[in-house]
Amino acid sequence: MFRKICLFWFLFFLVGLNNVYGLPFYESSDAGDSLDTAVSLVNGTTEIHGTAEFAGADLYVFSWSGGALEIKAYSDDPQLFLFDENGVGVWANDDEVSSLNARIYDPNLDSGIYFLGISSFDWDPYSISGLIFPNQPYDQQFGPQNQDPLAYWDGSAFTQDANYVITFSAPVNAPVPEPSSVLLVGLSLFLFGFLGFKSRNYLTINN
């Protein structure tokens, strides 16, 4: 039994090494503010560290496997905007009820590709039909007020460049297990079966 337990944790550790989660992502250059220039997040991202330029927005693209997801932004009065793979608005929030930080929460967000935008207060996303999300009240999460994709950003810029941190409640861009991971899992199942078979034979012979 002791050998089985040791083998289990050894193989669990090897599989874990192959898919690392909980990674912070650092904006290396100014992230674009259009669907064509959005920065792709790496596998397993749980945090984004970046800087919101004065009179500008940063846009990131990521994949989500489905289920509950909370996204929070910490900065000098940030705004968060979530768009689907076509750039159509999904959710937006300016302030939490108890702070100027921004928060988006969906208890059952569909799987797919999403764009996440962050900007300073009152620098907002527009479609060809106008403002995508309502402006007020500030402490509520909104859905879009039109179904046209993001076209540009506009508004009044009240602050200078601001550093921000965005957190995800679960890793985004979670990778599909690689062949080596599948091989390790298969090997572990084989070894467990083999050890179980030997144990049964040993008990049969000695009884």
Task: Look up the pTM and report it.
Answer: 0.75
Q: Which residue is associated with the tokens 């403002």?
A: 131
103 confidence band (pLDDT: 50, 70, 90):
very high
What is the C-alpha radius of gyration for the chain, rounded to an integer number of angstroms? Answer: 23
CA–CA distance, 192 with 184 (Å, rounded to integer): 12
Please determine, for residue 188, whether its predicted confidence score (pLDDT) is greater than 90.
no
- Burial classification of residue 185, based on how many CB atoms lie within 10 Å of its CB (0-12 exposed, 13-18 middle, 19 or more buried): middle
pLDDT digits (tens, 9 = 90+) for 20-54: 457 899 988 788 999 999 999 999 999 999 998 87
Give pLDDT, residue 136. 86
Assess whether pLDDT exceeds 60 at residue 135: yes
Using pLDDT thresholds of 50, 70 and 90, give the confidence band for residue 98: confident
pLDDT band with cut points at 50, 70 and 90 for residue 3: low
Q: Collapsing DSSP states into helix, strand and coil, what is residue 36?
A: coil
Alpha carbon distances (Å) from 114 to 43, 99, 131, 152: 14, 26, 19, 17
Q: Element (H or E) spanning 202, and its range?
A: helix 179-206
Question: Pairing between strand 112-120 and 39-40?
Answer: unpaired
CA proximity to 139, closest of 192, 100, 173: 100
- As a dihedral over the C-alpha atoms of residue 39, residue 110, residue 164, residue 97, rounded to 10 degrees, the angle is 160
Burial class (CB in 10 A: 0-12, 13-18, 19+), 157: middle
Q: 60-76 burial by CB neighbour count: b if 16+ within 10 A, else e?
A: bbbbbeeeebebbbebb
pLDDT on residue 168: 97
Residue with tokens 């083999």: 194
